[in-house]
Amino acid sequence: MVLNITCIPGDGIGPEIVAQAKKVLDKVGEKYGHEMKYTDILMGGASIDACGEPLTDEAIETAKAADAVLMGSIGGNTSTSPWYKLPPEKRPEAGLLKIRKALNLFANLRPAYLYQELAAACPLKEEISKAGFDMLIMRELTGGLYFGERKTIEENGELKAVDTLTYSESEIRRIAIKGFEIARKRRKKVTSVDKANVLDSSRLWRKVVNEVALDYPDVTVEHMLVDNCAMQLVKDPAQFDVILTENMFGDILSDEASMVTGSIGMLSSASLNDSKFGLYEPSHGSAPDIAGQNIANPIATILSAAMMLRYSFDLDKEADAIEGAVRQVLKDGYRTIDIYSEGMNKVSCSEMGDLLCDRI
């Protein structure tokens, strides 16, 4: 099988971690008889420096022509980088919003899994962490406050800012269907998160989710207010399977979930459209303070590549091989600096990639 993959190395540690993901994918291709074809494009600060904008139309067309997109990270230090002296629509993150919209990537999947080998890094009490957890946050990605109409005006002698939160039935329905479909492949439970006691958009969200649930009688559905969900994530994370929610709530809750795992450097993510096409990236940022030092943790990007194999190419066996290699490397005591603890073997970014290849 030929896999046509557009890669976005991006900024900061992005090029380093994408290089390791390619290395692991090549090993998978070698073992299972697949050919990996990569085409790199610029996005974020790298694109601003080279092209004067965070994402060109030509780059978007290249991404559209691929089977999937694998991304490292974008952005820099918001205090010191000249990129953040530009207007908001010209900054690195604008490229990410642009590609999500252009590729119709409305469904964001962020797993949060606690490896028992890293349980000591979990900030929760041992009585909670020992139960383990394995959840997936399904976040709507192209609607809500982040894409609604916004403006800043002067009214009665003072500035007034307006952001609009808008959702249609069709937008909610398509993300709900994705959530229930994924739940069917997991533990068959969906927790739909909203603020239906206050917001009209959430009341519509809850109504549509209940309608979609009728088509999935084998999946249990529950509704939870977002503030309660935030509390439950630190009180009893083991209760969750698939958390289904809108854009802003998902942004916040997925970051919270990532931190209770102990290291955001371990967490993958996928953004999907209506087809098999997706953009796959680590949940962490560009970490410009450690860029170029070969100490970044590439595991989140490599696990994102595993998600790519699973969701865009239906290569479950190959995805399992990568995920199994990660578990084995951790069991064997190898750690990058961000997850290192006394008694473990500290390795570099590239060494971690080599170790994973050895275990494929």
Distance CA 320, CA 328 (A): 12
- Please tell me the distance from the alpha carbon of residue 32 to that of residue 34, in angstroms, as a whole number: 6
Catalytic entry in 32, 84, 113, 146:
146
Provide the strand spans (E) within 246-294. 268-272, 278-282
Q: Is 227 a catalytic residue?
A: yes
- Distance (Å, rounded) from C-alpha 341 to C-alpha 241? 29
Three-state secondary structure of 223-257 = EEEHHHHHHHHHHCHHHCCEEEECHHHHHHHHHHH
First-to-last alpha carbon distance for the chain, in angstroms, is 18
Active-site residue flag, 332: no
Q: Which of 200, 227, 236, 358 is catalytic?
A: 227
Q: Which of 67, 251, 311, 334 is catalytic?
A: 251
Does residue 195 have an active-site annotation?
A: yes
Q: Strands (DSSP E) along the chain, which ranges?
A: 2-10, 35-40, 68-73, 107-113, 134-140, 150-155, 158-163, 189-194, 220-225, 242-245, 268-272, 278-282, 334-335, 345-346
SS3 label, residue 168: coil
Active-site choice (26, 40, 255, 354): 255
State the catalytic residues. 146, 195, 227, 251, 255
